């Protein structure tokens, strides 16, 4: 006896119900300008500086679904301040062919002290 084959309607339904593929965004869009991170006072007093590379994963609505430090500044308080700042940012959803899709973006957050404090 031959195995039943899926009809075209159920195949189309299976394709339509698959979650969209996550894309990498090189330049995220924001719903409002992102607030800068708060420079930790102890790090400022110790003249600690650095760049934290944060990965943000977004769903199809642009809502954050994950936040990770990809590269630490080497200073824990700077890393924590970067995560805290980025957690408050509101993103526009990434689109492919006019349809919103899940995405991820890498954001460098720089902590630098100026010469004339």
Q: Is residue 12 part of a domain?
A: no
* Count of domains observed in the chain: 1
Q: Is residue 57 part of a domain?
A: yes
| Residues 34-57: tens digit of each pLDDT | 999 999 999 999 999 999 999 999
Q: Can you point out the beta strands (E) in 5-97?
A: 23-24, 50-58, 64-71, 94-96
Structure confidence at residue 115 (pLDDT) = 58
The mean pLDDT of 9-20, rounded to a whole number, is 55
- What's the CA gap between 60 and 56, in Å, rounded? 13
Q: Which domain CATH number covers 29? A: 3.30.2420.10
- What's the CA gap between 76 and 99, in Å, rounded? 38
Give yes or no for a contact between 109 and 56, defined as CB atoms under 8 angstroms apart: no
* Residue labelled with tokens 């642009």: 62
Domain span at 83: 23-111
| Residues 68-79: tens digit of each pLDDT | 999 999 999 999
Reference 37, options 54, 24, 21, 14; nearest CA is: 54
């Amino acid at each position: 006896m031959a195995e039943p084959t899926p009809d075209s309607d159920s195949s189309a339904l299976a394709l339509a119900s698959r979650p969209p593929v996550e894309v990498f965004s090189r330049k995220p869009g924001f719903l409002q300008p992102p607030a800068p991170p708060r420079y930790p006072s102890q790090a400022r007093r110790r003249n600690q500086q650095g760049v934290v590379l944060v990965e943000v994963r977004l769903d199809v609505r642009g809502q954050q679904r994950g936040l990770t430090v990809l590269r630490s500044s080497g200073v824990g308080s700077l890393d924590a301040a970067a995560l805290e700042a980025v957690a408050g940012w509101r993103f526009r959803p990434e689109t492919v062919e006019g349809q919103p899709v899940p995405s991820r973006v890498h954001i460098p957050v720089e902590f630098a002290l100026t010469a004339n404090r």
